[in-house]
A and B are shown apart, each in its own frame.
Chain A
Amino acid sequence: GAVVSQHPSRVICKSGTSVKIECRSLDFQATTMFWYRQFPKQSLMLMATSNEGSKATYEQGVEKDKFLINHASLTLSTLTVTSAHPEDSSFYICSARRRDSPYEQYFGPGTRLTVT
């Protein structure tokens, strides 16, 4: 199997607060995890690539100081949205790549963030 969990599934927060989202691979070791954002009726947009034990690689236009990523173990990566604003409201989805499969990615169920 290749099960990825994500928590929380839904969060509503006030503008200016920080939100942490956890992504876990439950039955495999994930050397690489990816964080995506998806706005309604839009494609998945890669935000950053996270390798265990090293700094995340951010895509162009994604502020690394605003979206803090930590990949402390082979089964856990976290994304913290700092000082969230209403424009950060989106569907955040993580995915994980198995050690033995170089390209296939398995997605977590996503976190729907609403910033009021």
Chain B
Amino acid sequence: RKEVEQDPGPFNVPEGATVAFNCTYSNSASQSFFWYRQDCRKEPKLLMSVYSSGNEDGRFTAQLNRASQYISLLIRDSKLSDSATYLCAVPSGGYSTLTFGKGTMLLVSP
């Protein structure tokens, strides 16, 4: 299994839809996980950190499934502005570095 794996998508959804992406990781000892959002030709921006079973921030919910070694990101009531690539990141090495997945592209249409 690759260190961090994501479905590249794209996920095409209409405005108002609920969409979820998964990210699988190989290091069972990982304790923290991160979701970043990256717009085209821009830098990643931290969206959410997950240190325990999950985290919720408005329309965004991240959940961790340790048994199956994946984290998910759920977006409710999708907006056009949610269109972006969502990167999952997991600490690696000495836990000071992050390994990023290739990202999942989301396209929200009117």
Interface positions of A (Cβ within 8 A of B)? 32, 34, 42-44, 46, 49, 91, 93, 97, 102-110, 112
Residue of A nearest to B102 (CB): A43
Looking at chain B's contact residues, the main secondary structure is: strand
Cβ contact within 8 Å between A103 and B98: yes
Asked whether, in the complex, the Cβ of B91 is within 8 Å of the Cβ of A103, the reply is yes
Interface residues, chain B, with chain A CB atoms under 8 Å away: 32, 34, 41-46, 49, 87, 89, 91, 95-103
- New A-B contacts (18) at CB < 8 Å, excluding given A44-B87, A103-B49: A34-B97, A43-B100, A43-B101, A43-B102, A46-B99, A49-B96, A97-B96, A102-B96, A103-B32, A103-B91, A103-B95, A104-B34, A104-B46, A105-B46, A107-B43, A109-B42, A109-B43, A110-B43
Within the complex, which residue of B32, B91, B96 is in contact with A32, where a contact is CB–CB below 8 Å?
B96
Asked if A107 contacts B45 (CB within 8 A), the reply is yes
Closest to B93 in A: A49
Chain A residues lying within 8 Å of B45, measured Cβ to Cβ, are: 107
Pull 28 A–B residue pairs with CB atoms less than 8 Å apart, ordered by A: A32-B96, A34-B98, A43-B100, A43-B102, A46-B97, A46-B99, A49-B96, A49-B97, A93-B44, A97-B96, A102-B95, A102-B96, A103-B32, A103-B34, A103-B49, A103-B95, A103-B96, A104-B46, A104-B49, A105-B46, A105-B89, A105-B98, A106-B46, A107-B44, A107-B45, A109-B43, A110-B43, A112-B41
